[in-house]
Amino acid sequence: MTEKKARKEGFAHLLSPIEIKGVEIRNRIALAPMNTLMSLDNRGYVNEQILAYYAARAKGGCGLIITECVLGTRLASRFPYTSNLHLYDLSHFPGLAELAETIHAFGSVAFIQMSIGFGRQGHSHTGERPPAPSVVPMMVSPEYLPRGFGKVLEKYPQAAERALGAMPYEMTVDEIRREQDEFANSCRFAMGAQFDGIELHAPHGYLEHQFLSPLTNKRTDLYGGSLQNRMRFLVETYLKVREAVGFDYILGVRLSADEHLPGGFTHEEALEVGRTLAGLGADYIHLSDGSYEALKYFFPDEDGTMLEEAANFKKATNLPVICPSIHDPYLAEEAIAKGKCDIVSLGRQMFADPEWGNKVAEGRVEEIRRCKRCNECLMRTVVGLPVRCIQNPNTGREKYMPEYWRPPVKSKPVTKMRVPPRLPELRSFD
Ligand SMILES: Cc1cc2nc3c(=O)[nH]c(=O)nc-3n(C[C@H](O)[C@H](O)[C@H](O)COP(=O)(O)O)c2cc1C
Ligand code: SF4
């Protein structure tokens, strides 16, 4: 798409609505899920800053907000990389319900990203061994880091300690099933909190990805070996969550399109996983790439690196596909116009400028504050600090900005509550 054409057509494709399972999203612009570490208490609760951070991106023109990844079991929440939101009991529920309501108040659709765990990429504050498919610790090699990562590492040298993961232990089959049951129960809470959909978090070398990969899954039982076996953990988790939330509710999956490591799972295998999930009624695929050990694919240095993979997923699954890391609105318009993906998700660019969507819609593209892909924001989270952005001094300070407080509303009766087929269990999953 030439700039001239996009301008003439007013970004017609990027700004057109899309419907997923009866839920209309006002445009094709999504906030990518990003762990902000703005919860601040390390206990996983939503606070005023988190509400205002998401309000800014909804008000700024994202039709779809996908939350940062929320850890959905007690075991998972004991082994984060640094710190995340949690949802595994009733105490987390009101804060997340407030978050969904806030996003809705600013006119956006709200999906919650739910994670069953970091697996071997997790750490415990007490030095315990994290759960994983097999006993293979994580090791990040410098050749797989994004360009210029060295510079930001110099500023945060303690991050280098995170290159080597803790020694994991192999999960038993009983433990796998217990985790899946607790996770599915937590997804019922997420639906009850009035999120419009759930995104299962399965990319980036996290637990589901670890089961998918022959590099990290050395099991000889029904969860290891063939692709069919390696995808069993993800498929079972998907099915348990689907049973928990019902078929009328949006349930999508985020996947890495390729592991990009010698001997790792391939793009062809990822497509097969996508086809299987589509056959089981998944509602969309949100693509990503790589893992902590292939970080340059996960955090690309340039726009559009996943577009061809996204197009392949569209062909293979016939589902709506969300493609990340296209910061240039002209390229985003072209990607959607050519049918390579259906929605673009913006990550770091939304730290740099939450008004990206409005500026595109109002013909103020030159005013967009561009993300420099310097990875300062990311590195801060690696060392346990909340996100800040070198381009936007207000990222992380939205709670002090009244324009991101919930506006007063005329009382409107709730028309359709999202109620899970069964209420969440309040029992402990010991
Ligand atoms: C600080 C930070 C935290 C992130 N946390 C998550 C997360 O919780 N879940 C997820 O699926 N991706 C996460 N990502 C990846 C983004 O969703 C996105 O795929 C990636 O940043 C590439 O897109 P971008 O170039 O627009 O930033 C995170 C990225 C950043 C920078
Ligand atoms: S700190 Fe800001 S400019 Fe740098 S990568 Fe993060 S979002 Fe982009």
Tens of pLDDT along 251-301?
Answer: 999 999 999 999 999 999 999 999 999 999 999 999 999 999 999 999 999
Residue of the nearest CA to atom 25 in ligand 1? 325
Among 6-10, 97-101, 372-376, 400-404, the least confident range: 6-10
Query: Among candidates 341, 344, 343, 333, which has minimal Cα distance to 1?
Result: 333
Tens of pLDDT along 8-21?
Answer: 678 999 999 999 99
Locate the ligand 2 atom nearest the alpha carbon of residue 370 and give its number.
3
Conformation bin of residue 150: beta by default, left when phi > 0, alpha when psi is -120 to 50: alpha
Report the helix count and the strand count for the chain, using DSSP H and E: 16, 13
Of the listed ligands, the closest to the CA of 155 is 2
CA of residue 297 to ligand 1 center, whole Å: 11
How is residue 286 annotated by DSSP? E
Report CA-CA distances (Å) from 290 to 42, 68, 294, 309, 421. 27, 18, 5, 12, 35
Residue of the nearest CA to atom 1 in ligand 2? 389
CA of residue 347 to ligand 1 center, whole Å: 5
Locate the ligand 1 atom nearest the alpha carbon of residue 377 and give its number.
1
Instruction: Exactly one of 54, 88, 144, 206 is catalytic; name it.
Output: 206
* Helices assigned H by DSSP within 46-92: 48-59, 74-78
Mean pLDDT, residues 406-422 taken together: 78
Residue of the nearest CA to atom 2 in ligand 1? 34
Tens of pLDDT along 376-407?
Answer: 999 999 999 999 999 999 999 999 999 999 98
Query: Among candidates 18, 301, 292, which has minimal Cα distance to 165?
Result: 292
Residue of the nearest CA to atom 4 in ligand 2? 374
Tens of pLDDT along 21-31?
Answer: 999 999 999 99
Mean pLDDT, residues 157-167 taken together: 89
Tens of pLDDT along 203-231?
Answer: 999 999 999 999 999 999 999 999 999 99
CA of residue 122 to ligand 2 center, whole Å: 24
CA of residue 297 to ligand 2 center, whole Å: 17
Q: How far apart are CA 134 and CA 215, in angstroms?
A: 10
pLDDT given at position 290: 97
CA of residue 98 to ligand 2 center, whole Å: 28
Of 134-148, 157-171, 225-239, give the range with the top mean pLDDT.
225-239
Structure pTM? Answer: 0.97
Is there an atom of ligand 2 within 6 Å of 219 CB? no
CA of residue 410 to ligand 1 center, whole Å: 36
415 pLDDT higher than 80: no
Is there an atom of ligand 2 within 6 Å of 379 CB? no
Q: Predicted confidence band at 430 (pLDDT cuts at 50, 70, 90)?
A: low
Q: Are strands 29-31 and 85-86 parallel, antiparallel or unpaired?
A: unpaired
% of the chain surpassing 90 pLDDT? 86
Is there an atom of ligand 1 within 6 Å of 152 CB? no
206 is catalytic: yes
Is there an atom of ligand 1 within 6 Å of 83 CB? no
Of the listed ligands, the closest to the CA of 31 is 1
Is there an atom of ligand 2 within 6 Å of 377 CB? yes
Instruction: Classify burial at 268, counting beta carbons within 10 Å of its beta carbon; exposed 0-12, middle 13-18, buried 19 or more.
Output: exposed
Locate the ligand 1 atom nearest the alpha carbon of residue 69 and give its number.
8
pLDDT given at position 224: 98
Tens of pLDDT along 57-78?
Answer: 999 999 999 999 999 999 999 9
Q: How far apart are CA 118 and CA 223, in angstroms?
A: 18
Is there an atom of ligand 1 within 6 Å of 377 CB? yes
Q: How far apart are CA 273 and CA 426, in angstroms?
A: 33
Domains of the chain and any CATH numbers: 3-404 (3.20.20.70)
Report CA-CA distances (Å) from 12 to 2, 178, 336, 369. 13, 47, 10, 22
Mean pLDDT of the chain: 95
